[in-house]
Amino acid sequence: MTNEELKKIWLEKFKSVPESLKKMATVKSVATAFNTNVDAVLKVKGNRILELAKKLNLSLADLQNITHTKLESPEDVLKGLFRCFSRGIAEEWLTEDKLVYDWMVENLGYDRLQMGGQGGIVANALAVTGVQKVYAHTNSLPELQAKQFLELDNLLSFDEQGQAKPAHTINRELDIPLIHWMLEFDKGESVTIGGQTFTCPKSNRFIATYDPLNLHLVMDKHFIAQMAEEPVEYIVLSGFHALTERNNGVKLQDDVIPIINQWKNNGDLIHLEIASTQDLAVRKAIIKKIAPIVDSIGINEREAIDILEVTDFDNLAQKCNENTHSVNMFEALMNIKKHIKAPRVQLHMFGLYITIQDKNFKISPEANLRGMMLAATVAAGKAGTGSINNPENLLWAQGQTVSDVGLNELRDLAQHLNKPELISSGITEIEGYDIIAIPTILVEKPVTLVGMGDTISSISLVGAR
Ligand code: GLC
C-alpha cells in the first residue's frame, strides 16, 4: 500500500479522536506527583552567549573545558549553554547554590514564565481535557507557582492547612518558588568566539535548574494523606530524574516504595514517566526499584537508550544511538519490557508511538490505540499552537493526515516483524505480548516542544478507553 492510501485509512481511524476526548470527562480522578516547578523560558541568540562569555571573561578554551555537569558557578551556566547550543542538544544541569540562582535572576532574566515539571505539566493537560478531578502534588506553592496552574475548578492542590482547593487560588506564602531556566536557541543561530564560528545545528534547549525541594524529593504530607484516604483512577508519577547519588537520591527512592505500594493497594493505576536521568546510580535504582512496581512506563528514544546503558544492553544501546529508527527502537523497547517486567511500556519517538503490554492487561489494545491517537492529536495541537491551555487548541490538528516519516517507520517495523497488518491496523501480537503502534501527525514548525513527552504519555494512558 502507498503512503497516500495509508493516510486515508489512518484519517478514518483518527475520526474517533473527538469522541475519545469527550470520554476524558468520564474519568473521576487522577493525581500527578511529584515534580511541579516554574519554567522561566528565555530565547537566547548567538550574540547573547558572546556577551555573557565576555562578562565572565571566558575564552573558547574555558567554555569547552567541562569537568562536571553541575552548576557550581555562573561560568558553568555558560559552559552548559554553549555546549547545547553548538551541538543542538538538550541537557539539564542542576545547581544547589543560591548564588548561581541569584546570578541567573540578575543576568539572564526571562521572556515568560510557564508551568514546569512533569507533574505540573501533566496536571494542567489532564484538567483541560476534562478529567473530573485532578490532584497535583506541589512541594512549593507560592503565588508565582499557583499562577502557572490553569484557572480550572477541577485542578486541585493543597494549602498549608491541608485543604484541597483549586490550585490557582492557593498561595503558600512561606514557600519559595522553584525556577528552572529553559534557555532555548534556534537552529541556524551562530556565535563567533576565539576566531571560530559555531552555528546551532538544531533548535533545542539547555535547562539550568535551581530547585532545592525537588532535588530532595520533598513530599507534601497533605497530598500523601489524601492519596492514602481516597483512591484515584490513575497516578502519573515522575520527578526521580532530578535526584543525585550525592543527595541521597538512591535512599530517597526506597522511602517512596511503600507509598507506591499503598497506592497500588488502593487500586490506583500507576504510570511512571522515566524522564532524562543524568545520575547513573539514580537511573539504575529507578530501573531496579521503582519501574518494576508500577503498571505503566513512558519513555522517549533518548531515555530508552539511557535505560539500555544501565541494564547491560550496551551493544543494543550503541546500535540505537547510531540508528534511531523503529526497528532498533522496538528491539530496545521489547528488551526493556522483559527486563523491567512492568505490564505496559510505551515509547514515543519522532513520528511514531509504540506500546507493548501484557496480554491480560486491564486496558485493551483497541482502547490503547484510541488513547494514542488522542495523544497524537493533542500533542500536534500543542506543537502547532504553542499551548493547550485553551481547550480549543486540543483538536487543532484534527483532520490532518499522519506523517510520511511515521508511516515509513511503521512500515519498516511491520516488515521486520513480519506482521503486515500492523501498518494499517496498528495492532498485533508478538511473543505473547500485545503491540500497539501508530504513526503520528507531525507539525512542520513546532512553536514549542517542552513537556511534549509528558503530555503524550499521560493522555494516551488516561484517554485509552
Ligand atoms: C524537567 C525540567 C522542567 C521541565 C520538564 C519538561 O522536569 O526540570 O523544568 O518543565 O522537564 O518536561
Taking a C-beta distance cutoff of 8 angstroms, is the pair 320, 329 a contact?
A: yes
pLDDT single digits (tens) 217-239 = 999 999 999 999 999 999 999 99
Backbone angles phi, psi at 182, to 5 degrees: -105, 95
- Do 349 and 205 belong to one domain? no
Are 194 and 256 in a shared domain?
no
**Are both 205 and 322 inside the same structural domain?**
no
Residue 317 lies in a domain: yes
Give tens-digit pLDDT for 24-58: 999 999 999 999 999 999 999 999 999 999 999 99
pLDDT at 204 over 90: no
Q: How many residues does the chain have?
A: 465
Q: Is residue 183 part of a domain?
A: yes
Average pLDDT of the chain is: 96
- Ligand 1, atom 7, lies closest to the CA of 117
pLDDT score for 195: 96
Exposed, middle or buried, 378 (CB in 10 Å: 0-12/13-18/19+)? buried
Does 19 score more than 90 pLDDT?
Answer: yes
pLDDT at 320 > cutoff 90: yes
161 CB-contact burial (10 Å; exposed 0-12 / middle 13-18 / buried 19+)? exposed
- Ligand 1 centroid to residue 9 C-alpha, Å: 36
Return the percentage of the chain with pLDDT > 70, whole number: 100
For residue 60, the SS3 value is helix
Q: Which long-range contacts (CB under 8 A, 24 or more apart) does 244-249 make?
A: 244/94, 244/215, 244/279, 244/282, 245/279, 245/280, 245/281, 245/282, 247/96, 247/215, 247/216, 248/216, 249/217, 249/279, 249/281, 249/282, 249/285
Compute, in angstroms, the gap from residue 376 CA to the centroid of ligand 1. Answer: 20
Per-residue model confidence as pLDDT tens digits over 130-169 = 999 999 999 999 999 999 999 999 999 999 999 999 999 9
Is the bond leading into 158 cis (omega within 30 degrees of zero)? no
Q: Which atom of ligand 1 is nearest to the CA of 121?
A: 10
Cell numbers of 69, please?
A: 555537569
In a domain, 159, yes or no: no
Question: Has residue 222 been placed in a domain?
Answer: no
Q: Does residue 199 lie within any of the structural domains?
A: yes
Q: Are residues 191 and 238 in the same domain?
A: no
Gap between the Cα atoms of 439 and 401, Å rounded: 10
Nine-digit cell at 25? Answer: 470527562
Q: Do 240 and 101 reside in the same domain of the chain?
A: no
227 within a domain of the structure (yes/no): no
CB 266 within 8 A of CB 276: no
- pLDDT recorded at residue 311: 97
Same domain flag for 286 and 390: yes
pLDDT band at 441 (very low <50, low <70, confident <90, very high): very high
Give the Å distance between the CA of 283 and the centre of ligand 1.
Answer: 17
Most ligand 1 atoms within 8 A of CB, residue of 121, 217, 272, 277 to mutate: 121
Q: Which residue has the higher pLDDT, 256 or 69?
A: 256
Alpha helix (H) residue ranges in 266-403: 280-285, 301-309, 314-322, 326-340, 365-385
pLDDT, tens digit (0-9, with 9 covering 90-100), for 235-247: 999 999 989 999 9
Specify the ligand 1 atom closest to the Cα of 453.
12
Contacts (Cβ under 8 Å, ≥6 apart) of 126:
24, 30, 32, 134, 236, 458, 459, 462
Nearest CA to 20 out of 262, 333, 266, 377 is that of 377
Domain count across the chain: 2
CA dihedral for 118, 123, 129, 131, sign (positive or negative): positive
CATH number at residue 74: 3.30.1110.20
Is residue 123 within 8 A of residue 32, CB to CB? The reply is yes
Atom of ligand 1 nearest to the CA of 39: 9
Mean pLDDT confidence for 76-105: 93
pLDDT the model gives residue 448: 81
Asked if residue 91 has pLDDT above 90, the reply is no
Q: Is 66 found in the same domain as 15?
A: no
- 90 pLDDT band (50/70/90 cuts)? confident
- Sign of dihedral through CA atoms 178, 347, 465, 405? positive
Q: Which atom of ligand 1 is nearest to the CA of 214?
A: 8
Task: Give the ranges where 130-267 is alpha helix by DSSP (H).
Answer: 143-146, 221-229, 249-265
Model confidence over 247-296: pLDDT tens digits?
A: 999 999 999 999 999 999 999 999 999 998 888 999 999 999 999 999 99
Q: 361: which DSSP letter?
A: -
Q: Is residue 377 within 8 Å of 14, Cβ to Cβ?
A: yes
Cα(116) to centroid of ligand 1, in Å?
Answer: 5
Residues 239 and 194 reside in one and the same domain: no
Both 311 and 452 in one domain: the answer is yes
Residue 446 banded pLDDT, cuts 50, 70, 90: confident
pLDDT at 423 over 90: yes
Residue 191: domain span = 39-115+176-211
Assign 449 a pLDDT band (cuts: 50, 70, 90).
Answer: confident
Distances, alpha carbon 279 to alpha carbons 70, 106, 242, 284, 298, in Å: 11, 29, 8, 9, 19
Ligand 1 lining (C-beta closer than 6 Å): 35, 37, 39, 92, 116-118, 180, 207, 209, 450-451, 454
Instruction: Based on the fold, state whether residues 255 and 293 are members of the same structural domain.
Output: yes
Q: 187 and 307 share a domain?
A: no
Q: Is residue 140 part of a domain?
A: no
Q: What's residue 447's pLDDT?
A: 84
Residue 344 lies in a domain: yes
Q: At what angle do helices 74-87 and 98-107 cross, to 10 degrees?
A: 60
Task: List the grid coordinates of 308.
Answer: 539500555
- Per residue in 346-365, pLDDT (tens digit) is 999 999 999 999 999 999 99
Nearest-angstrom CA–CA distance, 242 and 70: 12
Average pLDDT over residues 99-119: 95
Residue to probe by mutation, ligand 1, list 101, 149, 207, 452, most atoms within 8 Å of CB = 207
Distance 451 CA to ligand 1 centre (A): 7
At 445 the pLDDT is 82
Same domain, 442 and 340: yes
Q: Which atom of ligand 1 is nearest to the CA of 180?
A: 9
Which among 32, 34, 37 is the best mutation to test ligand 1's pocket, defined by most ligand atoms within 8 Å of the CB?
Answer: 37
End-to-end CA distance of the chain: 29
CATH number at residue 401: 3.40.1190.20
Please check whether residue 232 is in contact with residue 240, taking contact to mean a CB–CB distance below 8 angstroms: no
Report how far residue 346's alpha carbon sits from residue 140's, in angstroms, rounded to the nearest whole number.
30
